[in-house]
Structure 1
């Protein structure tokens, strides 16, 4: 299991943004029992040794409180992933293994609090949270592709991220219902999805390459029919 635990931080010297991310793992641990709400926030602050009133300032009450907590947790996992798997460490792997490794890291990082993941997915699925949830999925997918070395700036930049965000979302849905040893079914599902995408990308690349060749072939046939004078 991948651990995201670090040395006890000095909460008093943190900005509110830093505090949100620092408290996120403890909030997730409390959310297993209490859900993503102020009860979990208070329990997390007390457990971590942070000032409860300051923690409430970081996550003010209201409709967005739960999503604020979930976003902080996603950010925490994003940062841990970037630290554990920088580009130079991933460079030795094939592209599909880079993506599989990054998604697997995220799953292993939250495996011990999978009930918090289940509760988070329920919150994110609420209609008023959908835009923000999509944004979070896109952001994590973008970080994964950048770590994997992707430098695309054309439409491939967007399709790759949209597809990976979809794979990650679908994998999480399997993850929260997987009672197999070591989440074996989840990792098998992830492997199949990534293999399918790689086959699609290969076919797409061949099609686009062929498509780029068509104009020159058309010009050649045109010259045969209408020779230049």
Structure 2
């Protein structure tokens, strides 16, 4: 961390040492701003909701690290399900200190912050799909992200309690969850190929087929913005 680093980044860097003791809180923001030599008024401007905005900034940093690694790694020879598993693993490895994540999980479990936590996880799932080249433009745009959000959230919780060497149990759990998702996709494919099922579901599927991703994927939509 140098004087040339943006104030918001300097504050976030300094905050990491305080989070294990004070959580993602106003106290952490105050201490971090002082250590980063950032005026309290500017710190409040950069992180108006205090610890919540700090935690979201840390989550966004992890997302960015995951995307960078996905761009660096050669995944072309992998099956698609393995690319998804690799992306989730890269994201968890980017999280670093489990205590920082554990404190964030506690914060976003609070009712007043649960929406922000869900948005952050959705954003991670959206970044994974987009980084892997997803081009869906129908109901699948939503179902893919909803399913992967569930996978990511469950794997993070498993990882937080995993004491196995090199987190091997976590990666095995991740593989099982991805296999579960692939089974769902197989069922969907089988239904499409089954003439009787296709006839019975023609009406509902026609309605679902009209659903499209958000016309504008700018800040404010699920998966975009602070998460």
The TM-score bracket by the shorter chain reads 0.7 to 0.9
In structure 2, the gaps of 5 or more residues are 200-227
Aligned partner of 1:164 among 141, 148, 158: 148
Tell me the TM-score normalised to structure 1 length: 0.76
Q: Given that residues 87 and 147 in structure 1 are in contact (C-alpha distance below 8 angstroms), is that contact kept between their aligned partners in structure 2?
A: no
Post-superposition Cα deviations, 1:144-203, rounded to whole Å, max 9, x if no partner, equal 011111111111110010010011111111111112221222111111101111122122
Q: Residue 78 of structure 1 aligns with which residue?
A: 63
Post-superposition Cα deviations, 1:102-149, rounded to whole Å, max 9, x if no partner, equal 1111211223x1011111101101111122211111111000011111
Q: Are 2:165 and 1:181 aligned?
A: yes
Question: Aligned runs of 1:18-167 on 2, under 5 Å?
Answer: 19-20=7-8, 23-45=11-33, 49-53=36-40, 54-60=42-48, 64-86=49-71, 89-111=74-96, 113-167=97-151
Post-superposition Cα deviations, 1:74-122, rounded to whole Å, max 9, x if no partner, equal 11111111122129844442211111111111211223x1011111101
Q: Compared with structure 1, are the counterparts of its residues 29 and 172 closer, same or farther at alpha carbon in structure 2 (3 Å cutoff)?
A: farther
Q: Given that residues 36 and 66 in structure 1 are in contact (C-alpha distance below 8 angstroms), is that contact kept between their aligned partners in structure 2?
A: yes
Could you list the runs of 4 or more consecutive aligned residues of structure 1 that deviate by over 6 angstroms after TM superposition?
none
In structure 1, the gaps of 5 or more residues are 1-6, 216-229
Aligned length: 198
Q: Are 2:1 and 1:10 aligned?
A: no
Larger radius of gyration: 1
Deviation larger for 199-208 or 96-105: 199-208
Q: Compared with structure 1, are the counterparts of its residues 130 and 109 closer, same or farther at alpha carbon in structure 2 (3 Å cutoff)?
A: same
Q: Compared with structure 1, are the counterparts of its residues 22 and 159 closer, same or farther at alpha carbon in structure 2 (3 Å cutoff)?
A: farther
Q: Aligned partners of 2:127 and 2:172: how far apart in 1? A: 23
